[in-house]
Structure 1
Amino acid sequence: MAMKAAENGVSRRSFLKTGLGAAAAVGFPTIVPASVFGQYAPSKRINVGAIGVGRISRVHDLPGIMQYDNARVIAVCDLDAHRVVEGKAFVNDFYAKKSSKPYDGTVGYANYHELLANKDIDAVVVSTPDHWHSLIGVDAVRAGKDVYLQKPASLTIGEGRALSNAVQASGRILQIGSQQRSTPQFRYAAELVRNGRIGEVQRVEIGLPGDPAGGEKTPMPVPAGFNYEMWLGETPDVYYTVDRVHPVKGYDRPGWLRMRQFGAGMITGWGAHHVDSAHWGMNTEYSGPVEIWGTAEFPTHGLWDVHGAFKTEALYANGIRMSISGEYPNGIKFYGTKGWIFVSRGNEAVTKSDPVAKLNDNTALASSDPAIIKSVIGPDEIHLYDSKEQHGNWLECIISRKEPISPVELGHRACSTCLLHDMAMVLKRKLYWDPVSEKFKNDDEANNMLWRKQRAPYVLPKVLV
């Protein structure tokens, strides 16, 4: 799938200046060891560029893609020049160890537009902060790239709709990083529920913690080599302080995850996973609730301002009621007329700072009657999409052009549902939602929250708005 170098809009050997004033791009070696890429000839490989090479990229997305011989990460991009250097080293070291030979074939970029202009790149993995997901996703598919996009899909419901529209119009493959769909117990739990093992579903409980207050408010100088102005993207121009962004050194949990300027906190961060998995079992993947209400505590001190302890509820048109709160175990519990099923990641964690890492319960699948989860789904029953691994499924679908397990519309619907719960927390009243028109009923205040004002030039193309 690699294209000829002569067609390359940005040379693989071009040097891109970073904020450090140093070159960020290093050319490919003359000879790439065949052992690095296994049985796949260069013309059959999927060349991938990584946009955002921070914490989730290093521990999840890059390893998830580089394990496959039919893909090759050939470029990394970040607005932090230090992370570009370290990202290149991370990828080069992986391929060097795989081939047992020196390897220096990764290009570094300081601007994702230049990465997208590289015609040698077939696909991109977007592992940026949440407020950049939609715009980069739209720009990528309009540039002809297939996309793996970290969840949540968008900062606002309006942006999520624009993203989904753009992807569907482009014909590109976009996979949302909702990897629970590629985890056996979540698929099996949804199949059991969809096939009536607990009778008619009545309610669903989702366990999800809040975030703590804190964060240092003191203004600080922007670190050398960090394009903070662009990092803020569409959001308001505010002063720099490290707890608003990410650590200057290392890859610990970043402060932006706890800032409403860039996301909604746990309700979208982890909620996008659990709500998506709940929708799978509820058979409401392309819809959403019709009523949403709840309460939440918000910080009264410090920099961070996303929700803390909370409890929100929603009613769906089919009569199912969903509750989300830190009062419940981290996971999803389906209650039906004949019993219940609980599913979670157990004690698995993507990173050491993930909330699930603090759990003592390693239960991944349980039920009111052990016979429920021991039953076999028959050949004539509902069998859901079976993916063994999220990144691998994306790569397979790039080749086959079939729909991936987490297509953009499913990601948008899960994200929009989480954002509805967040709006109910903020507005402190019941909201009435039409999932078809994606508008609130007779509620101008709530409808005004479907979009945020985007700071130029970081705005979605007007054709999509």
Structure 2
Amino acid sequence: MSASRRDFVKASIAGSVVAGFPTIVPKTVFGATAPSNRISIGAIGVGRISHGHDMPGVMQFAGAPGRDNRILAVCDLSEERVELGKQFVDKTYAEKLGKSYVGTKGYSDFRELLANREIDAVLISTPDHQHARLAVAAVKAGKDVYLQKPASLTIREGRIMADHVKASGRIVQIGSQQRSWKQFARAVALVRNGGIGTVKQVEIGLPGDPAGGNPAPMPVPAGFNYDAWLGSTPEVPYTLDRVMPTKDFSRPGWLRLEQFGAGMITGWGAHHVDTAHWGMDTELTGPVEIWGNAEFPKEGLWDVHGPFKTYGRYANGVVMTISGDFENGIKWIGDKGWIFVCRDGMTTPTASSTDKPAQIVPLRASDPRILDSEIGPNEFHPYTSDDQHGNWLDCIRSRKAPTAPAEIGHRACSTCLLHWIAMKTNHHIHWDPVTETIVGDDIAASLLTRHQRHPYEIV
């Protein structure tokens, strides 16, 4: 901590004491039944997605009845990011609450944060390869969890995570925020209630990633625990394009490396496959056959898939196709029409840099009258929420299942990983979604898990 930072903290604490009350009052002072009874949160991983999405996602509800919360601590393997995270939280609460707010604690070891009895729940916003391990540790420590998607690096890790969550009884919300956006819930309701007849096909549009990245080894930055950052994955030399930017919170290179994730098929695919499953009523199962192909980089550091087209057939005969050939979104095709849904602000790809991209209508159908259909009181009404983080906070209090629980998140992620396995092997895979095994293909089955480097195994 810099001298100026220490002086600022000391002055703020002194000012609070003079006023006769500390700025942050530990829950133990008044107990869990205090009038405010706010939810105390720790943020594990305070990089790009945490600063831009997860921490603001919960802090927006500070002071809100029923959703009041405070982030009491942040944790990161970069000392600099720990300090930036503390400053970000303090500044945000000070501006929102209109008073001095200093005291967010910093950790470099997530285990120490989880041991803090003041903390009720945690945000896990780390790279993909750390998700399952940290979620298991958190629920074993008695914490509720908001877990960034995808749920796991491998299918076996995801099953271990989901089983631990079920056994723990903790509230775990997967960051599948499309479940809290109105157009997605509306599309799902229309599809599930027969608005397009019987679903026959599903098309999911996803881009690939470019090749590139500098593989030349570099010195590890001071104050960065690179070994712990690699975690269970193999030890490899540090280079900036393998990890994350040190000057800002722009898109990190690890997103384009299979050592830490599978690329867009899980990174964005976990969202779209989850939405597709929601509409198909297959949230707790998966495909039974998967096949397809992809292009992979032949040079550079980054090695996740580029252009691809993969297919998954479900037990009911529905075939899901995932490819960058389609508009970015989800399209259910039935025997009486189709419905397409995507996020707000999406645009069509352009032929050249001079072409102006066209805005994609986020909810549309083969016949516009389908969108005006009324859903009767005895028909299917999807679980809806107004905000993914807000729903998590609601469920921490009510102890009811959130809109995207761990098992559903695992099934979406495992489906994406099966498509990735088909890409990697170019095999036609037969999958048993009950036992979660690949049938009759040892090569493909070997990709269901990965060796975990000691001492970073899931325990």
Common topology (TM > 0.5): yes
Q: Are 1:61 and 2:54 matched, yes or no?
A: yes
**CA distance in structure 2 between the aligned counterparts of 1:172 and 1:105, rounded to whole angstroms:** 27
- The answer (yes or no) to whether the contact 2:23–2:100 under 8 Å persists in 1 is no
Which residue of 442, 445, 452 corresponds with 1:444? 442
Residue 222 of structure 2: SS of its match in structure 1? coil
Give the structure 2 partner of residue 231 of structure 1: 229
Which residue of 104, 107, 116 corresponds with 2:105? 107
Question: How many percent of aligned residue pairs carry the same amino acid?
Answer: 62
**CA distance in structure 1 between the aligned counterparts of 2:323 and 2:436, rounded to whole angstroms:** 24
Judged with a 3 Å threshold, the aligned counterparts in structure 2 of structure 1 residues 348 and 96 are, in CA distance, closer, same or farther, namely farther
Give the structure 2 partner of residue 288 of structure 1: 286
Give the structure 2 partner of residue 201 of structure 1: 199
Give the structure 2 partner of residue 10 of structure 1: none
Judged with a 3 Å threshold, the aligned counterparts in structure 2 of structure 1 residues 447 and 42 are, in CA distance, closer, same or farther, namely farther
Deviation at 1:200, TM superposition (A): 0.4
State the one-letter code of the partner of 1:60: H
Residue 449 of structure 1: SS of its match in structure 2? helix
Judged with a 3 Å threshold, the aligned counterparts in structure 2 of structure 1 residues 32 and 345 are, in CA distance, closer, same or farther, namely farther
- The answer (yes or no) to whether the contact 2:290–2:429 under 8 Å persists in 1 is yes
Give a deviation string over 1:163-196, Cα, whole Å, max 9, x none. Answer: 0000000010000000000011111101100000
**CA distance in structure 2 between the aligned counterparts of 1:210 and 1:46, rounded to whole angstroms:** 39
**CA distance in structure 1 between the aligned counterparts of 2:427 and 2:97, rounded to whole angstroms:** 59
**CA distance in structure 2 between the aligned counterparts of 1:360 and 1:457, rounded to whole angstroms:** 50
**CA distance in structure 1 between the aligned counterparts of 2:88 and 2:80, rounded to whole angstroms:** 12
Deviation at 1:447, TM superposition (A): 1.6
Which residue of 61, 75, 78 corresponds with 2:76? 78
Deviation at 1:42, TM superposition (A): 6.8
State the one-letter code of the partner of 2:289: E
Give the structure 2 partner of residue 354 of structure 1: none
Give the structure 1 partner of residue 353 of structure 2: none
**CA distance in structure 2 between the aligned counterparts of 1:217 and 1:246, rounded to whole angstroms:** 13
- The answer (yes or no) to whether the contact 1:33–1:99 under 8 Å persists in 2 is no
Give a deviation string over 1:86-124, Cα, whole Å, max 9, x none. Answer: 000100001111233222121011110000000000000
- The answer (yes or no) to whether the contact 2:339–2:364 under 8 Å persists in 1 is yes
Q: Are 1:44 and 2:42 matched, yes or no?
A: no
Give a deviation string over 1:58-81, Cα, whole Å, max 9, x none. Answer: 111011000112111111000011
Give the structure 2 partner of residue 263 of structure 1: 261
**CA distance in structure 2 between the aligned counterparts of 1:445 and 1:219, rounded to whole angstroms:** 32
Q: Are 1:222 and 2:184 matched, yes or no?
A: no
State the one-letter code of the partner of 1:246: M
Give the structure 2 partner of residue 153 of structure 1: 151
- The answer (yes or no) to whether the contact 2:346–2:359 under 8 Å persists in 1 is no
- The answer (yes or no) to whether the contact 2:23–2:102 under 8 Å persists in 1 is no
Deviation at 1:444, TM superposition (A): 1.5
**CA distance in structure 2 between the aligned counterparts of 1:440 and 1:359, rounded to whole angstroms:** 41
**CA distance in structure 2 between the aligned counterparts of 1:406 and 1:293, rounded to whole angstroms:** 27
**CA distance in structure 1 between the aligned counterparts of 2:385 and 2:332, rounded to whole angstroms:** 22
Give the structure 1 partner of residue 304 of structure 2: 306
Give a deviation string over 1:325-350, Cα, whole Å, max 9, x none. Answer: 0000000011000000000003169x
Judged with a 3 Å threshold, the aligned counterparts in structure 2 of structure 1 residues 108 and 359 are, in CA distance, closer, same or farther, namely farther
**CA distance in structure 1 between the aligned counterparts of 2:174 and 2:78, rounded to whole angstroms:** 24
State the one-letter code of the partner of 2:60: Q
Give the structure 2 partner of residue 315 of structure 1: 313
Aligned ranges for residues 351-366 of structure 1 at < 5 Å? 360-366=358-364
* Structure 1: 4+ residue segments shifted above 6 A: none
Give the structure 2 partner of residue 128 of structure 1: 126
Judged with a 3 Å threshold, the aligned counterparts in structure 2 of structure 1 residues 360 and 107 are, in CA distance, closer, same or farther, namely farther
**CA distance in structure 2 between the aligned counterparts of 1:100 and 1:263, rounded to whole angstroms:** 41
**CA distance in structure 2 between the aligned counterparts of 1:229 and 1:204, rounded to whole angstroms:** 41
**CA distance in structure 1 between the aligned counterparts of 2:53 and 2:215, rounded to whole angstroms:** 30
Aligned ranges for residues 378-397 of structure 1 at < 5 Å? 378-397=376-395
- The answer (yes or no) to whether the contact 1:347–1:359 under 8 Å persists in 2 is no
State the one-letter code of the partner of 2:48: R
Judged with a 3 Å threshold, the aligned counterparts in structure 2 of structure 1 residues 63 and 413 are, in CA distance, closer, same or farther, namely same
Q: Are 1:407 and 2:405 matched, yes or no?
A: yes
Q: Are 1:116 and 2:114 matched, yes or no?
A: yes
- The answer (yes or no) to whether the contact 2:201–2:320 under 8 Å persists in 1 is yes
State the one-letter code of the partner of 1:99: L
Deviation at 1:409, TM superposition (A): 0.2
Residue 290 of structure 2: SS of its match in structure 1? strand
Q: Are 1:435 and 2:433 matched, yes or no?
A: yes
Deviation at 1:130, TM superposition (A): 0.2
Aligned residues: 429
Deviation at 1:359, TM superposition (A): 6.2
Give a deviation string over 1:263-319, Cα, whole Å, max 9, x none. Answer: 000000000000000000000000000000001000001000000000001100011
Give a deviation string over 1:342-385, Cα, whole Å, max 9, x none. Answer: 00003169xxxxxxxx9632311000000001112111110010
Which residue of 355, 368, 386 corresponds with 1:370? 368
**CA distance in structure 1 between the aligned counterparts of 2:74 and 2:261, rounded to whole angstroms:** 24
Residue 448 of structure 1: SS of its match in structure 2? helix
Give a deviation string over 1:184-216, Cα, whole Å, max 9, x none. Answer: 111110110000000000000000000000000
Which residue of 157, 160, 163 corresponds with 2:161? 163
State the one-letter code of the partner of 1:420: L
Residue 447 of structure 2: SS of its match in structure 1? coil
Which residue of 101, 118, 139 corresponds with 1:141? 139
Residue 375 of structure 1: SS of its match in structure 2? coil
Give the structure 1 partner of residue 352 of structure 2: none
State the one-letter code of the partner of 2:430: Y
- The answer (yes or no) to whether the contact 2:58–2:390 under 8 Å persists in 1 is yes
State the one-letter code of the partner of 1:150: Q
Judged with a 3 Å threshold, the aligned counterparts in structure 2 of structure 1 residues 359 and 165 are, in CA distance, closer, same or farther, namely farther
Q: Are 1:458 and 2:456 matched, yes or no?
A: yes
